[in-house]
Structures are given as C-alpha cells and as structure tokens.
Amino acid sequence: MKTPSQTKEEYFLLGTCGHVDHGKSALIKALSGFDGDTSVHEKERGMTIDLSFCRVQSPGRTLGFVDVPGHQSLISTMISGSFALDMALLVVDAYEGIKEQTLEHILICALLQIPCLVVLSKVDRCTHTQNLEHNVMHTLQDYKAACIGLFKCSIYDPSSIEALKQFLLQHPFSKRTPKNALKDLFRLYIDRVFMVQGRGVVVSGTVLGGQVKTHDHLSVLPLQKGVRVKTLHQHGQEVAQAGMHERVALHLGGVKAQELKTGMLLSHKGVLRAFHTLDVKLLAPPDAPALKHNQVISVQLGTLRAQAKLLLLDSPFATLLIDQKLFACYGECVILSCQGRVWGGALILNPIADPLKKSLKHALLHALEAQDFPQAFAILCQAHQKGFGLLCSVQRFGLNHTLALEIAKQVPHAIVDAQEMVIYPVSALSSLVQSIKSIYMHNPHALLSVKGICAKYSHVSAHLATLAFVELEKQDFLRQEHGLWLRQGVKLEQLQDNLKTQLYNAIQHGGFTPQAPYNLYAVLDVDRQAGDNALKALCRAQKVVRLCHNVFVEKKTLERAITLMQTLLKQYGYLDIALLKTHWPLSRKFLIAYLEYLDTLGGTTNSHGKRQAKP
C-alpha cells in the first residue's frame, strides 16, 4: 500500500475556457497527454460536456487543469469549474476569433477576478493574428479582466506547445487567495459523488479555502451531518492533505452516497450559518440589460445553483431572496444569470439575515463595501439592542475573532464581552439594570445571581449581568452575599426560610400535577442553585417527595394518590396507564411517575406495564 505524500510542492489550478470547438481539450491533451473528453457522449458529440481534470508536473510544481465546456447550454458547468481557479487559459481560435462564449467566459473570469493567459489556437490555419491580438487585449480591458500574457499555439507545432508548457511550469504565479480570514476556513463544494469498490463513499471538489487532512472531522453543512475523512486522493495518488485551490477526492465515513448531492458544502461544524437572503452589490458588465425589481434570476456559488427573486435597493445594492439556504460568506462573488445567459455577478456584502430598517441597511452596505468595519459594527450594534454576536465574524466580515474584538473595542457607546464574543449598546445595560430593579421592587424576597439572570434573559451574557448587578450595588439597592444578590436590609437566612415556605406552598397548590422546579424558580425570582437547596431541605424534612426528574409532590398529596391506585388495583385486579387514566385524567408523564413510585413500595409486580398485587 502506498504511503500518502507528506511533502507539498506548489499547486496551481488552471482552467481552459473559451468558445466551443476552439481547441481547449486538444490543447490540454497536447500539454498533458490526457484526453479530457472521455465519456461516450463527449466522444460522439466532439465536445466537453462535464468538467475534465488532469495535471502537468515538474520538480516542485504541480499544475492541475480544469477543462470546462464551451457550449452555451453548458455555461453553468463552466461556472462550477471556475470559482477556485488560480488562472484561466483563454483559448481563442486564430481563424474564428472572438465568439459569444469567448465573451461570456471573459466576463466570468473578470467577475471572479481570475487572471487570464490568452492562447491563440490553431495558428497553423491563420498566421496573421495582429488584429485578433489587439481585439482580444482590448476586450479583456473592457471587461476589466487581468491578462498575464499571450501565446500563439498549434497542436501540430510541438515547439509552441512546449514553450507554453515551460512558461506554465516556470512563471512565478501567485495563489488567488482571499485577503481575509476566509483563506484559513476549509470549504469545498461537492461536484461529484460516487462509490468506489471496497472503499465506500467518495466525493470530489476543489478546496476554496483552508486545507483538509486525512482523519479530519468535517460537516456536510446542509445536512448538519458530521463525517470523517478516511483518505485523500489527488490525480490518482493518495495524499496526506490538500490546500486552497487544489482538486481533491475525499473518501468519507459516516454518510451514505444517496444522502449527498452536487452543490452541498463541506466545512467545519459551527462556523457557517445558512440563510435565504443575501445583501449584495450588483456587478454589471458593459452593456448589461437593467434588472427589474422582483425579477427571478439564477444564482450560482461554487457548484451550488439556485433561483432567487431580486429586490432592488438603492443602486448598486440589492437583496437576493433565494429558494434555498446558502452558506455564503462576505466578499464572495455569486454569478447571476437570466434565461440561461450570464448577466453579471453580485458581491456578497451581508450574508446574514438582519431585520434592519432600510436606512440602516443602506448605511451598513456602504460601510461593508468600503470595508469600514468599525462603522459596520456601530450600525449593527445600534440595530441589535439585545447584543450583536461576533462568533460569526469570519463568515460575516472575513475577520478572525481576535481582529473582530479589536474593532469592536473601537465602537463608541458600546460594551464588549470578549469572553462571549458579544457587543452590546450601552442602552442594553441600562435596560437590564431597570429590569432587575423591577424584579426586586415587585418581589423584595427575590434571590438572584448572575447565572440566574442569564437563564432568565437568553440574550444576556455573564459579563453584562455582572455589570448590571454592580451598578445596582453602587446605587445601594442590592448587596451580594455568597454569590447571590438581595435587597439591602434583607437577611439571607430570612430569604432562605421564606423560599422554603413559598416553594412548599407552590408545590402543594399544584396538587397531583405540580410545576417543574425551574418554572417555580422563575415565578419566585430565585436563583436555581438557591431553589435546589431549598427543595432538598423540603425533601429531607419529608414534606415533599421526589417522584422522578423534575416531579416533586407534596407528601399528603402523594398519599392520596397511592390510596387511589391501591383501590383501583384491588377493584380490577391489575393497574396500567390506560386504566388509571380513565379514573384519573392526568398527562402520561405524571401517570408513569405515580405508577413507578407505586412499584418502589414493593407491593406490586410489573409485567410489561401491567401492575398486579403481590400475593
């Protein structure tokens, strides 16, 4: 068995694009010896239908090639193969020149910011190419597509192919890497799912960010399903890891092939969230037709394709209402198509749905477009009166947590909880102080803690709760004793005795169906630990009996219940849930608890839920 390769040479992913029959696949075969059109249908039709992959190697460098289809009906497949390219070989037939799909592919490269190397193919058929060279370079300039250079090639001229090959193997390329924290977040959109004999489920795709290693634990995000990477393969060889913009096949454990689909995203658990809405900046190419409000368009991100309704905001901003949830990230580009033709693109500015007023959303999108993150944080802090979480900062802003916290600390009139990664407006503290004060004004016997307040108000962090209690202490309204906060002038012992009385009365009032302890604690405004201590004291004093988890009954009430069950048992000769319910209309939860307590008294035998008296 081969050992996975541990050393990683330079890996660049290149794609051939251009009009159908302009010689893309022939060029790939001449460079690599690999015939990309391998399927029966491709052979019969003489064109690439699916994405084809191969490589060219030299010491220290691997070039992975993606041969994308050039036919106009297969444009979405071309887009799928383009998102992770480091460079595109724009193939133009020297005789036919620039055609419809040439322009469409140039547009896609420009939108995805993929630099192009122009290859004029079939120069044996047309030796005078000066006008074409000028037109191609001018077109690239019009679309604002970067150009690395231009080569003239013919598959019948080995020297021209060798010159191109040596350029590709020696040119000082740079990886097309995100200039933010997304470069470190592993993401891979599945483009193929298949079963390998004796292996199991295998998926393939191109790494958009970060890296993946053998034995990594990942998540199929749309399924929220954890999987384990058993092995990794690149171009037929087992490898130990794969990095950004590298083709890779992953042998997965913990998932079935029928659960997986093209377009699903593999990443790490808990980092990305999915939403039906995206706030974007529209990227319109030259002479693009105007889009209409509420127009339905096609959206593509990686290999994921969806339909969306376009809601126009103040130009150039818009909101996309997508028919499926996307795990999109700030700064990514989605390709927009209308009626099967590429219209342009959209730069994702806000990938997380926010209930913002139009004026605030417009200000936020302007700030995000300018990468003015302090201003964006301030706007979101103003919009989220109960706190704005920073745990999603990688997805939302392309910022790692450390940098997000540094920016948060620059926001005026804000409170930053570095432990919980939450930023609150100062008004949130004032509101919480008033809420806590109201509790103690209404109930002088309240006995709360930081933990209790966090349980009572889900948006409140321990840091914010502590600040609120300290503020009330400064006002000489509360004081702290043994981790609990009580009104000034009230003794802790008095509160504890009073709590036991209140709990006992509440349980007694509940009769056969008392409330769960945590509900009683919320009603009585007491800390859970203090409530548990009081409840244990009542059990020790045998005033209250615990039937099961979260079911506590007053002792005399329990004795009445036992008398009722024993009477029915004697009358019918057996006792089960169905019989008991006809005489005692309680929920199943309580009926089971009482029957199981009856079993503990030792006077019955239980056979498959039916109780009978022992002889």
Question: Residue 329 belongs to a domain with what CATH number?
Answer: 2.40.30.10
Contact criterion met (CB below 8 Å) for 157 and 127: no
Domain range for residue 388?
355-490
Chain centre to alpha carbon of residue 205: 18
Q: Which pLDDT tens digit goes with each residue over 528-560?
A: 999 999 999 999 999 999 998 899 999 999 999
Q: What is the CATH number of the domain that holds 148?
A: 3.40.50.300
Domain assignment present for residue 407? The answer is yes
Q: Based on the fold, state whether residues 288 and 338 are members of the same structural domain.
A: yes
| DSSP secondary structure, 497-520, as one string | HHHHHHHHHHHHHHTTSPPPHHHH
Q: Based on the fold, state whether residues 60 and 90 are members of the same structural domain.
A: yes
Q: Based on the fold, state whether residues 59 and 189 are members of the same structural domain.
A: no
Domain assignment present for residue 1? The answer is no
Q: Which pLDDT tens digit goes with each residue over 111-169?
A: 999 999 999 999 888 878 899 999 999 999 999 999 999 999 999 999 999 999 999 99
pTM of the model: 0.83
> 95 Cβ partners below 8 Å, 6+ apart?
122, 125, 126
The mean per-residue pLDDT over the stretch 490-511 comes to 93
Q: Based on the fold, state whether residues 297 and 162 are members of the same structural domain.
A: no
Q: What is the CATH number of the domain that holds 500?
A: 1.10.10.10
Residue among 30, 3, 2, 1 at smallest CA distance from 16: 30
The answer to whether residue 563 scores a pLDDT higher than 60 is yes
Higher pLDDT, 286 or 156: 156
Domain assignment present for residue 129? The answer is yes
Which pLDDT band holds residue 8 (cuts at 50, 70, 90)?
A: low
The answer to whether residue 38 scores a pLDDT higher than 50 is no
Q: Based on the fold, state whether residues 378 and 498 are members of the same structural domain.
A: no
pLDDT given at position 80: 78
pLDDT given at position 609: 87
Residue among 335, 345, 347 at smallest CA distance from 76: 335
Contact criterion met (CB below 8 Å) for 346 and 280: yes
Higher pLDDT, 406 or 75: 406
Q: Which pLDDT tens digit goes with each residue over 336-347?
A: 999 888 999 999
Q: Based on the fold, state whether residues 413 and 513 are members of the same structural domain.
A: no
Calpha distance 292→115 (Å, rounded) = 31
The rounded mean pLDDT for the chain is 89
Q: Based on the fold, state whether residues 192 and 158 are members of the same structural domain.
A: no
Q: Based on the fold, state whether residues 334 and 387 are members of the same structural domain.
A: no
Calpha distance 405→418 (Å, rounded) = 7
Domain assignment present for residue 16? The answer is yes
pLDDT given at position 419: 95
Q: Based on the fold, state whether residues 162 and 189 are members of the same structural domain.
A: no
The mean per-residue pLDDT over the stretch 79-104 comes to 88
CB atoms within 10 A of CB 65: 26
pLDDT given at position 35: 58
> 509 Cβ partners below 8 Å, 6+ apart?
none
- The number of folded domains in the chain is 5
pLDDT given at position 75: 62
The answer to whether residue 456 scores a pLDDT higher than 80 is yes
Chain centre to alpha carbon of residue 345: 22
* 229, burial (CB in 10 Å: exposed 0-12, middle 13-18, buried 19+): buried
Q: Which of 144, 170, 196 is the last residue of a domain?
A: 170
Q: Based on the fold, state whether residues 162 and 15 are members of the same structural domain.
A: yes
Q: How many residues does the chain have?
A: 615
Report the range of poorest mean pLDDT among 2-16, 307-321, 361-375, 433-447.
2-16
Specify the residue for token string 């009954």. Answer: 553
The Cα-based distances of 584 to 496, 588, 610 in angstroms read 35, 11, 16
Contact criterion met (CB below 8 Å) for 609 and 577: yes
Contact criterion met (CB below 8 Å) for 347 and 299: no
Q: Which of 121, 137, 170 is the last residue of a domain?
A: 170
Calpha distance 255→13 (Å, rounded) = 28
The Cα-based distances of 458 to 273, 387, 443, 465, 486 in angstroms read 20, 11, 21, 11, 22
The answer to whether residue 93 scores a pLDDT higher than 70 is yes
Higher pLDDT, 36 or 23: 23
Contact criterion met (CB below 8 Å) for 583 and 572: no
Q: Based on the fold, state whether residues 252 and 346 are members of the same structural domain.
A: no
Domain assignment present for residue 379? The answer is yes
The answer to whether residue 31 scores a pLDDT higher than 90 is no
Q: Is the dihedral of CA 200, 201, 207, 212 positive or negative?
A: negative
CA triplet 64, 69, 75: central angle to 5 degrees? 115
Q: Based on the fold, state whether residues 55 and 94 are members of the same structural domain.
A: yes
Domain assignment present for residue 5? The answer is no
Q: Which of 350, 377, 403 is the last residue of a domain?
A: 350
- Amino acid, res. 542: Q
Contact criterion met (CB below 8 Å) for 280 and 318: yes
Domain assignment present for residue 609? The answer is yes
Domain assignment present for residue 176? The answer is no
Alpha helices in 511-586, H assignment, sequence order: 517-524, 528-540, 555-572, 577-583
pLDDT given at position 69: 58
